[in-house]
């Protein structure tokens, strides 16, 4: 559609230009003097005419003075004859240089053909352009069955290697085997070893699956074909399957090679699942993948890499040996890996001296590799916009919050009362967090509003611990209650600012009861299956337990919440002085970094308390 408007635009412009050109051309010629025949005869008699060019019935006259003029002669009659009739003598005529020009010259075109043909030509051109567009569409339809398979550039300078992947040591080790095979396939085949046909990379979005696949290709130096499974999902049944066939054929032709199918869950979902009946297209596409992978013979040197962030919904048939029999789990990076990733991506940015990547990585639990890359990018943008030439630690810290919570809303007008409430609320969270032995330490307290949050307290685990204990959960719940309790104790009132805390606390305590088996109900995992339809599993839905158990769950959830509330209230009542001190400084400074906060708390010499 955009092309069409563009074409019409150009057609109109051309038309206007042609019109302007010709009107200029014709008006230029009409400026010369137009003589009648007897005027011409008279001029000749007076010896004022130097030459005449006859072109059909048109006469182009050059006067003695050098100016030009035009005239028309009688139809079908000779010029000399005519002039004689007007009384020009043979002598006078002989002093004029008369020549005859073929009428088929440029003038003929300009005079007759162009005015008649031009509109026609423009019209034809116009339709041709439209049809060309339409044909483009038709060609696309013809290409439907072809996969848009891309071959990654294997140019030496730009290729991705394992060096570009920070951390992920074990994962790289696993993939090295494949690289070795692709480098020397004969060695393995001679030993009768079966080489994995497929390797499935599984992990959270942004954890580096695509990157790792590219690195495998770069290391092995074989052609790397890259398709995204979502490209196989089309409106028309059979198209996806045909594209798969095409992709595999292309890869086999240049074996040894790697065929990388990204986001394979788009087609690899469990068959026969989901709502609304048959997903014929997807199933056919999946079947085709299975067929192609089975079709590889022992000698075939094509390895299929696939990536997904939803291994749980993949069809079992994809996972059985002989297909994607190797699986590589890629976890979100831990504190050391995050540091390595940060250092890697900081290489091409001018960093200020002494940026402590360890501290940044400690502040970014749960960030994926892609998040960390984005974080540094944000920091670089921030530094540039503030006219700096290097990126500082503080720039990165500020960006962490921006990435997690959204941009600062410094402009938002809040009343003094609101500011006071927010300060006490956040001081409540922070106070409970530092007071409890099992709570994560406070890294920052702020009452500058960001995104949806009015203020926030950043308390993060000091070391990466994958396991959490019941007392840690209890401490977390109490910290979440801290804001609510502080408002209640200080103002004798509660605002809506605590609603998000309550939501999170309720969610957490429900998990404690139903998933972690930490309640009176004992060791049991209870589920709500409402999600499973969308996972592509069965239609089964609803609770998997009785009304009675559901009631017990609810009462356990609320008892955890009440306990946390009591704990928070206890701490804040006893340590009211500290609460006031923190809130006071917050209202003044708006942001408290870890050191400032610790300095305030130190003066009170409180001892850490247990949760129970
Ligand atoms: P996905 O797992 O979703 O396919 P990608 O592989 O596309 O994620 O990763 C996105 C980006 O994140 C990469 O281009 C890379 O810059 C960065 N990244 C992720 N993990 C790492 C890592 N371990 N080392 C270095 N960069 C990483
Ligand atoms: Mg990816
Ligand atoms: Zn809060």
- Over residues 487-510, the pLDDT tens digits come to 999 999 888 888 889 999 999 999
List residues bridging with 453 in a β-sheet: 450
Three-state DSSP class for residue 408? strand
Q: How far, in Å, from the CA of 427 to the mean position of ligand 3? A: 9
Q: Is the pLDDT of residue 534 over 50?
A: no
Q: Which ligand 1 atom is at minimum distance from the Cα of 201?
A: 2
Q: What is residue 470's predicted lDDT score, i.e. its pLDDT? A: 92
Q: What is residue 459's predicted lDDT score, i.e. its pLDDT? A: 82
Q: What is residue 319's predicted lDDT score, i.e. its pLDDT? A: 79
Instruction: For domain 416-602, say whether CATH 1.10.569.10 is its number.
Output: no
Give me the chain's average pLDDT, please: 81
Residue having the nearest C-alpha atom to atom 8 of ligand 1? 206
Q: How far, in Å, from the CA of 158 to the mean position of ligand 2? A: 19
Q: How far, in Å, from the CA of 451 to the mean position of ligand 2? A: 28
Ion ligand 2, residues whose Cβ is below 5 A away? 210
- Could you tell me if 258 and 302 are in contact, meaning their C-beta atoms sit under 8 angstroms apart? yes
How many Å apart are CA 74 and CA 335, to the nearest integer?
102
Among 207-216, 232-241, 275-284, 422-431, which is the least confidently predicted range?
275-284
Q: Which ligand is nearest to the CA of 164?
A: 1
Q: Is the CB of 444 under 6 A from ligand 1?
A: no
Q: Is the CB of 209 under 6 A from ligand 1?
A: yes
Q: Which ligand is nearest to the CA of 456?
A: 3
- The number of angstroms, rounded, from the C-alpha of 561 to the middle of its chain's C-alpha atoms is 41
Q: Which ligand is nearest to the CA of 480?
A: 3
Q: What is residue 250's predicted lDDT score, i.e. its pLDDT? A: 83
Number of neighbouring beta carbons within 10 Å of residue 37: 17
Ion ligand 3, residues whose Cβ is below 5 A away? 483, 501
Domain ranges within the chain, ordered by starting residue: 2-106, 150-330, 339-402, 416-602
Q: Which ligand 1 atom is at minimum distance from the Cα of 166?
A: 24
CATH class of 2-106: alpha beta
- Residue 304, both tokens: 């299929």
Q: How far, in Å, from the CA of 282 to the mean position of ligand 1? A: 28
Q: How far, in Å, from the CA of 471 to the mean position of ligand 3? A: 21
Q: What is residue 196's predicted lDDT score, i.e. its pLDDT? A: 76
How many Å apart are CA 212 and CA 229, to the nearest integer?
18
Taking each continuous run of H as one helix and of E as one strand, the counts in the chain are 22, 14
- Could you tell me if 593 and 394 are in contact, meaning their C-beta atoms sit under 8 angstroms apart? no
Q: Is the CB of 207 under 6 A from ligand 1?
A: yes
Q: Which tens digits make up the pLDDT trace of 264-287?
A: 887 777 665 555 445 666 777 788
How many Å apart are CA 183 and CA 178, to the nearest integer?
9
Backbone φ and ψ of 64, nearest 5°? -60, -35
Most confident by average pLDDT, 75-84, 378-387, 402-411, 452-461: 378-387
Q: Is the pLDDT of residue 540 over 50?
A: no
Q: Which of 369, 372, 375, 377 to mutate to test the pocket of ligand 1 (most atoms within 8 A of CB)?
A: 369
Q: Is the CB of 166 under 6 A from ligand 1?
A: yes
CATH of 150-330, one of 3.40.50.1980, 1.20.120.530, 3.40.50.300, 3.30.420.40: 3.40.50.300
Q: Is the CB of 160 under 6 A from ligand 1?
A: no
Q: Is the CB of 211 under 6 A from ligand 1?
A: yes
Percentage of the residues of the chain whose pLDDT score is greater than 70? 84
Residue having the nearest C-alpha atom to atom 27 of ligand 1? 369
How many Å apart are CA 457 and CA 479, to the nearest integer?
10
Residue having the nearest C-alpha atom to atom 5 of ligand 1? 208
Q: Which of 211, 218, 374 to mutate to test the pocket of ligand 1 (most atoms within 8 A of CB)?
A: 211
Active site residue: 60, 231, 281, 426, which one? 426
Known catalytic residue at 352: no
Average pLDDT over residues 281-298: 75
- Residue 14, both tokens: 């051309």
CA-closest candidate to residue 308, choices 368, 352, 267 = 267
List residues bridging with 51 in a β-sheet: 62, 97
Q: Is the CB of 331 under 6 A from ligand 1?
A: no
Q: Is the CB of 328 under 6 A from ligand 1?
A: no
Three-state DSSP class for residue 225? strand
Domain 339-402, CATH: 1.10.8.60
Q: Which tens digits make up the pLDDT trace of 557-607?
A: 999 999 999 999 999 999 999 999 999 999 998 889 888 999 999 998 888
């Amino acid at each position: 559609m955009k092309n069409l408007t563009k074409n019409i635009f150009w057609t109109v412009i051309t038309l206007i230009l042609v019109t302007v050109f010709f009107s200029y051309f014709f008006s230029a010629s009409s400026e010369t003097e137009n003589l009648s025949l007897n005027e011409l005869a008279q001029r000749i008699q007076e010896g004022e005419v130097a030459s005449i060019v006859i072109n059909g019935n048109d006469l182009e006259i050059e006067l003695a003075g050098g100016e030009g003029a035009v005239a028309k002669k009688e139809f079908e009659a000779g010029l000399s004859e005519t002039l004689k009739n007007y009384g020009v003598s043979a002598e006078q005529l002989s002093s004029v240089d008369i020549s005859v020009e073929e009428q088929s010259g440029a003038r003929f075109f300009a005079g007759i053909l162009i005015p008649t043909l031009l509109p026609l030509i423009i019209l034809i051109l116009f339709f041709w352009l439209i049809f060309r567009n339409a044909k483009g569409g038709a060609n696309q339809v013809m290409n439907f069955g072809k996969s848009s398979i891309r071959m990654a550039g294997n140019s030496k300078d730009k290729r991705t290697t394992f060096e570009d992947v920070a951390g992920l040591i074990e994962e790289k080790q696993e993939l090295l085997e494949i690289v070795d095979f692709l480098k020397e396939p004969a060695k393995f085949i001679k030993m009768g070893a079966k080489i994995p046909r497929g390797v499935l990379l599984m992990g959270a979005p942004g954890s580096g699956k695509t990157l790792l696949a590219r690195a495998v290709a770069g290391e092995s130096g074989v052609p790397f074909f890259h398709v995204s499974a979502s490209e196989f999902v089309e409106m028309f049944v059979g198209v996806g399957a045909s594209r798969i066939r095409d992709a595999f054929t292309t890869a086999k032709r240049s074996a040894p090679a790697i065929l990388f199918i990204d986001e394979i869950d788009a087609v690899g979902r469990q068959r026969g699942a989901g709502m609304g009946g048959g997903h014929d297209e997807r199933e056919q596409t999946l079947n085709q993948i299975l067929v192609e992978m089975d079709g590889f013979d022992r000698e075939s040197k094509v390895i299929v890499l696939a990536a997904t962030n939803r291994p749980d919904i993949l069809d079992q048939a994809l996972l059985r040996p002989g297909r994607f029999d190797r699986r590589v789990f890629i976890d979100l990076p831990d504190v050391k890996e995050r540091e390595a990733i940060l250092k890697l991506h900081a290489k091409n940015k001018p960093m200020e001296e002494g940026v402590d990547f360890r501290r940044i990585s400690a502040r970014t639990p749960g960030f994926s590799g892609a998040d960390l890359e984005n974080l540094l990018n944000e920091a670089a943008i921030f530094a540039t916009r503030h006219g700096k030439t290097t990126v500082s630690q503080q720039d990165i810290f500020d960006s962490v919050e921006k990435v997690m919570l959204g941009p600062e809303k410094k402009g938002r007008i809040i009343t003094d009362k609101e500011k006071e409430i927010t300060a006490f609320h956040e001081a409540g969270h922070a106070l409970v967090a530092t007071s409890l032995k099992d709570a994560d330490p406070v890294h920052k307290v702020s009452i500058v509003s960001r995104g949806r949050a009015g203020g926030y307290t950043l308390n993060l685990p000091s070391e990466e611990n994958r396991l959490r204990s019941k007392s840690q959960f209890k401490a977390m719940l109490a910290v979440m209650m801290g804001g609510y309790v502080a408002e209640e104790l200080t103002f004798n009132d509660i605002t809506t600012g605590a609603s998000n805390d309550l939501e999170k606390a309720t969610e957490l305590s429900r998990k404690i009861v139903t998933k972690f088996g930490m309640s009176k109900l004992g060791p049991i995992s209870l589920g709500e299956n409402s999600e499973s339809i969308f996972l592509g599993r069965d239609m089964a839905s609803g609770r998997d337990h009785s009304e009675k158990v559901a009631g017990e769950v609810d009462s356990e959830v609320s008892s955890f919440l009440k306990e946390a509330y009591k704990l928070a209230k206890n701490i804040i009542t006893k340590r009211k002085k500290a609460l006031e001190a923190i809130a006071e400084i917050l209202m003044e400074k708006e942001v408290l970094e870890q050191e400032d906060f610790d300095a305030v708390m130190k003066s009170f010499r409180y001892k850490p308390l247990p949760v129970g």
